[in-house]
Structure 1
Amino acid sequence: MKVIVLTPPTPFPSEREMIKEIIEEGIYRLHLRRPDWSEGETRAFLESFSADQLSRIVLHDHHQLSEEYPIGGVHFNRRHPFVRHYHLPCSISCHTLEEVQIYKPQVNYLFLSPIFDSISKEGYGSAFSLDELREAGDLIDQHVFALGGVSLDKLPLLRELSFGGVALLGDFWQHAATSHYIRNYL
């Protein structure tokens, strides 16, 4: 099962070092999700990483920076609607099974959320019942990553449901005193 880590909305001290460590530990991708950052702030962040590390970083905003940096892809969402990029891996956020059906053939992978009640967003509850997810077995495969309320204790269920990976936000950053926590997911 592949692991993607999303950055929290605001940076914290030593974050860049932590990101470098989890990339070295073997996460599949790091999604840079900073909706309030300017292009300059995003560029300054990217400057902190080697070309090899950049190849694992996916941009949620300022996609045009993909022309300047060897990043690992671009991500589409409600702020940035889908436009196919043939020169870069693409991913997208989906909130319904219908969206999964539409976008899965067009992207490299996608997030389906919220699978469980969110850890980082209070009041953001699961959008799917367990029965709905089981019935969607033909749609959920290695290209679909579970997002929303994902924690270590839920990994066996997510594997059973055939998710290709997990996208971590709240659980990882709340427990990530060291990069070693990511090993529990890998």
Structure 2
Amino acid sequence: MSLQLFTVADFIKIAITAPVPRDCESERITRLLELGWDRVHLRYPSLTLTQVRKIVELVPQKWHGRLRLHGHFELINEFNIGGLHLNSRCPAVPSGFRGAISKSCHTVDEVRQASAGGRFDSVTLSPVFPSVSKPGYNPVLTKEDMRVAASMMPVIALGGVTPRRIALLKQLGFAGCAVLGAVSEAGTLDELAAVTEDFNQNII
């Protein structure tokens, strides 16, 4: 097994949208990308295709390449979306799609299988800490599990990620972090900026 090596500059910072969008959802997504988040994952399990389409339409086109869909994959035919993220709700790649694909994983074996397939540019592994957005959703992974998984391919830590935990994630070899709770709890654009700065200071 070859060890994946990542520098600080490589550490990826991903924001995941809350399942229920705010009135200013598109503006929040745009602001996150302006602030330097590498990707924003659009995860709206209860929304219709029309509702998600409207959110994407209101995000400036120059940012579409840094969006990734967790569902509503039909939108790849309408927008220059950066990629897809497979999960239990949407486990299959649309026919003919050749763009970037990531995947949700919850065990070392799932990461191993994803790595062997060679189709995914990264996977999320969760939960690595007690979840901020899902009370009671606690990790069963040990630090050694995380270290082994992170050595196989670019693995993004998800679940309970806060700025103070970034140093540990880097020590374990994670390629980046995905954040839902800490971002969704920021009520205003100014609070989003403050949260982002906190993460940036701990990634340096």
Give me the whole-angstrom Cα distance separating, in 1, the residues matched to 2:150 and 2:19. 32
Q: Tell me the residue number matched to 1:121.
A: 134
> What is the count of residue pairs matched by the alignment?
184
Shift of 1:15: 2.7
Secondary structure class of the residue paired with 1:167: strand
1:137, 1:63 → 2: CA distance?
A: 27
The equivalent residue for 1:109 is 122
Moved segments of 4+, more than 4 Å? none
Q: What is the aligned-residue RMSD (CA, Å)?
A: 1.7
- Provide the TM-score with structure 2 as the length reference: 0.84
Q: Which residue in 2 is equivalent to 1:49?
A: 59
Q: Displacement, 1:16?
A: 2.0
Matches of 2:57 and 2:198, distance apart in 1: 29
Worse-superposed segment, 103-112 or 171-180: 171-180
Identify which of 71, 76, 83 aligns with 1:61: 71
Tell me how far apart the structure 2 counterparts of residues 175 and 44 of structure 1 sit (CA, whole Å).
Answer: 22
Other structure's SS at 2:144 match: helix
Secondary structure at the residue paired with 2:145? Answer: helix
Deviation at 1:135, TM superposition (A): 4.3
Aligned-partner SS, 1:185: helix
Q: How does 1:35-184 map to 2 (within 5 A)?
A: 35-83=45-93, 86-104=97-115, 105-136=118-149, 138-139=151-152, 141=153, 143-175=154-186, 177=188, 178=190, 179-180=192-193, 181-184=195-198
* Identity value in percent: 34
Aligned-pair distance for 1:133?
Answer: 2.2
Amino acid at match of 2:145: E
Contact 1:116–1:127 (Cα < 8 Å) also in 2: no
Preserved CA contact (<8 Å) 1:113 1:127: no
Return the alpha-carbon distance in structure 2 between the equivalents of residues 131 and 176 of structure 1.
36
5+ residue gaps, structure 1, are none
